[in-house]
Structure 1
Amino acid sequence: MTPSLELIAPFIILDLILIVTALVSCLREENTRGPKWLWIFVIFCISLFGPVLYFVFGRPKRG
């Protein structure tokens, strides 16, 4: 029993939106907490959790 594309497509689209948003944010930031190349690697390689990790831990504190 395999899930149909109609069930998986929204999750794939959400994942792609998160990846693109995290990459744009990472590339626009002057400073990140850690090397920028490492965050780009994490965003690409850890699919859904990579962008979330970047937004939680990688972006500099505002304030």
Structure 2
Amino acid sequence: MKLHYGLDDFKEIDIMAILPIILPVIAIGILLVSIALLDLYKHRKTRENVLIWTLIILFVNTFGPILYFVLGRKDMEKP
């Protein structure tokens, strides 16, 4: 039983075999972040906490844009 794994063990991983799985996930994440930031920018006058939502969208990875679309779009000032 091997108790210690070093950086040499990463040489055995076949990146090209994993790439078709990883690329769509990365593309969807970038697309979600881009759409959420564009929507936030277009409606920045009517949204509260624009800076906080920007940080959530950027740093909470895939769940940040989803949280924005579910909760943040309801975060509008009432006229």
Could you say which TM-score interval applies, normalised by the shorter chain? 0.7 to 0.9
Asked if 1:25 is matched to 2:33, the reply is no
Q: Report 1:1-63 matches (<5 A).
A: 4-29=18-43, 30-32=45-47, 34-60=48-74
Q: Which has the higher contact order (CA 8 A, sep 6+)?
A: 1
Look at both structures and tell me which one has the larger radius of gyration over its CA atoms: 2
- Whole-Å Cα distance in 2 between the matches of residues 56 and 45 of structure 1? 17
Please list every run of 5 or more consecutive structure 1 residues that lacks an aligned counterpart in the other structure.
Answer: none
Q: CA RMSD in A?
A: 1.8
Please list every run of 5 or more consecutive structure 2 residues that lacks an aligned counterpart in the other structure.
Answer: 1-12
Alpha-carbon displacement from aligned partner over 1:16-52 (angstroms, at most 9, x marks no partner): 00000000000111222x4100000000000100000
